[in-house]
Structures are given as structure tokens and as C-alpha cells.
A and B are shown apart, each in its own frame.
Chain A
Amino acid sequence: MKRLSRISLIVTSAILLGLILNLLHPKGIHWKSLIPLNLFDCAEKYGNVRMISADSAYALWKIGETKFIDIRMSEEYELDHIKGAINISIDKVFELDLHKFNDTAVYVIYDQEGDSDKLTLFANHFSLLTGKTVYMLFGGYFSWLGKQYPIEAL
């Protein structure tokens, strides 16, 4: 019993300490990424949005099954972006020509760091409008850059 309580204490301490360290870490994991996306959402109100790591997105990109949507500022997009990505600003999400997205590709949406409210909003609206399951790039463009995966400039 004593041994079990000590084990529980070690594991609990690790979880709590891990959360505190992550909170203090300048490049820690955003708290939103620790909660399942649609946990508190109403299915009718929100779309089907999931997260994907840069490695998994790259694996899909290599076999041509992924299309990237860059929602950063157009200046940032022009400077450099994921190879083949298209740039759509947040205010254009309701003006999209939905026929363009009527394919079987996996859509991955990204911003700079992958944790902005804008990204979640865009991804949910995009999913609702197209009826697709869409993915948000975990860690955003920085994670893609960090892995040195293909980029291009305009």
C-alpha cells in the first residue's frame, strides 16, 4: 500500500511538474492542444477538425494526397511557404469557391505557430463549408521549417 502510494505520488508529481514546466516554457505546447478539439463543441455548430504533425503531413504530401492552405498574411506567404500551398486570408473563408475543394485531397491548414484562434476558426468554418475533415498543422509553419521540409517563395 505504501509502495503504491509512493508510485502514485511520483507519477502525479511528474504530470503536475510537466504541466508547470510546459506553461513556463517559451516554446511549450499550447494548452488548447491538450484538449480534444471537439470536446466541448456542438457537432452541428462546428466542423470536423483534427491536428496533424509536420512529419505525418509531409508523408501525405510526398504521395500527393495533401493540399496546404496558408492563412498567414499575404506578405508572409509571399516570402516563403510550404511548397504548393495556397494563401487564403481568414476574411475570405466565406467567399470560397467550394467547387475548387471538391476533391479527395487531405486539407492541411496552417498559420505561423499552429496555435492561434484564427486558425481554429478558419479550420472549423472550412470544414463546415466543404463538409470535409480538415487538419491543422501542429506547430504551424515553424514546425515544417524546423524539419527542413520543402518550401518555396513567390
Chain B
Amino acid sequence: MKNLKIIKFILSLIIGIMFIYSSWSKLISPRDFASTIENYQVFGIVLANWGAIFIPVLEFILGVLLIVGFWREEAWIITFFLIVIFDLMILQAYFRGLDISCGCFGSKESSLIDLWKILENVVYTSIVVVGGYLHIIKTIPSQS
């Protein structure tokens, strides 16, 4: 039981730090991040602008909530949906052959979307799925 608590905390810490780190450069230059979102060619510039305003703050809040442990279950649920949206964006860009940088950790990040980037996201998604499972499913009391 104690081991499970430690694992849950470590997973929260990993995703929490990752979110706070990735939100930072996006908060500093929202215009660049808006361009990054627009490059995915899914949303127009207006929706991209809203995303550039909203996503970094949400990432920061989620990061803090995950680390501090306040409303951690709710934070895991939102994190799951957020990471799924990120995955879908990256996958569609890859399959459409868009020659763009991911911008996952801000616009200064220059790594292009390739199989390695997809693999990297699979790892993040796996951590979120396991973390979410341990925090939400495992905490629901059984009916019997």
C-alpha cells in the first residue's frame, strides 16, 4: 500500500513537472505558441489564439495540482483528455506529412514531428493512463 502511494506520487511528480516546464515558454511568448498551433492546420488563427491563451495556463494549473495533491483525481482526468488531444494533433500532422516542429514544450523547441516524437508521446500517454488508473479507478470503493 505504501509502495502504491509512492508510485502514485512519482507519476504525479513526473507529469506535474513536465506540464509546468512546458507551460513556461508558452506563457512567455503566446504569439509564437499561437503560430505553433496554427501550423498544425486544424484550427484557424482565432481558435489557435484562444488555445495559446488557455492551454499554457491549464498546463500550469494541472502541474501544480498534480504535484501538490489538491484535486489530484480531477487533474488526472483533465490531463488524460489534454494528452489525448495532443496525441491526435501530432498523429494527424505526421500522417498528413506536415513538416512542422512539435512545439510541445514551447515554440523554441525545434524537434520535428517524426516517429521518435510519436514514441515520446506514447511514453507520456502511458504514464498518464497508468497514473490516472491508479488515482481514479483504484480509489473507487468496490461494491461488494
Contacts and interface: CB of A to CB of B under 8 A. Distances in A.
Interface residues of A, number: 33
A34 B74 CA distance: 28
B56 A18 contact: yes
- Chain B interface helix/strand/loop/mixed: helix
Q: Looking at chain A's contact residues, is the secondary structure mostly helix, strand, loop, or mixed?
A: helix
Interface of B: 27, 29-32, 34-35, 38-39, 41, 44-46, 48-50, 52-54, 56-58, 61-62, 65, 71, 73-75, 77-78, 100
Nearest to A54: B35
A55 B32 CA distance: 10
A79 B49 CA distance: 30
A74 interface: no
A4 to B, nearest CB: 9
Contacts, number: 93
A6 B54 contact: no
17 contacts: A6-B74, A7-B77, A15-B54, A17-B57, A18-B53, A19-B53, A21-B53, A29-B31, A29-B49, A34-B53, A50-B45, A51-B46, A53-B38, A138-B38, A139-B31, A143-B31, A143-B35
